[in-house]
């Protein structure tokens, strides 16, 4: 079971060019020398599946996958362009909001 999951992840990683000098680049950006701009995060879910998040830093796209430990299947759950998200100054924040803090700091200077 677990070996199928690991095999599935390994194949995905190899296809994405994430293997560098024998190490798997998980949950950290890849060095520029790999020419890849992918960031990958692998986390366990409560039901035994794995959550795999892949972010392409160059195109600012993100994809979320679930990996089934029984079959090793990879299921795309979500994908989107996150470039607009990254331009937001505030979202779902409580008082004091970031803009108010910036104004206070500017006034103090």
Indicate the pTM of the whole model: 0.57
Position 7 pLDDT exceeds 90: no
Q: Is the peptide bond before 96 cis (omega within 30 degrees of 0)?
A: yes
CA 83 to chain centre: 14
Domain range annotation of the chain: 2-108
Geometric angle at alpha carbon 37, from 35 and 42, rounded to 5°: 125
pLDDT in tens, 71-84: 999 999 999 999 99
pLDDT in tens, 40-89: 999 999 999 999 999 999 999 999 999 998 999 999 999 999 999 988 88
Q: Which residues contact 33 (CB under 8 A, 6 or more apart)?
A: 20
Cβ–Cβ under 8 Å, residues 40 and 52: yes
């Amino acid at each position: 079971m677990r070996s199928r999951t690991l095999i599935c992840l390994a194949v995905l990683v190899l296809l994405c060019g994430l293997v560098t000098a024998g190490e798997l680049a998980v949950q950290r950006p890849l060095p520029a020398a790999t020419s890849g701009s992918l960031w990958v995060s692998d986390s366990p879910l409560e039901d035994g599946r794995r959550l795999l998040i892949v972010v392409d830093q160059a195109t600012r796209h993100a994809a979320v996958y679930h990996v089934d430990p029984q079959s090793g299947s990879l299921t795309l759950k979500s994908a989107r362009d996150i470039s607009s998200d990254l331009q937001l100054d505030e979202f779902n924040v409580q008082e004091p909001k970031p803009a108010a803090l910036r104004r206070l700091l500017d006034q103090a200077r």
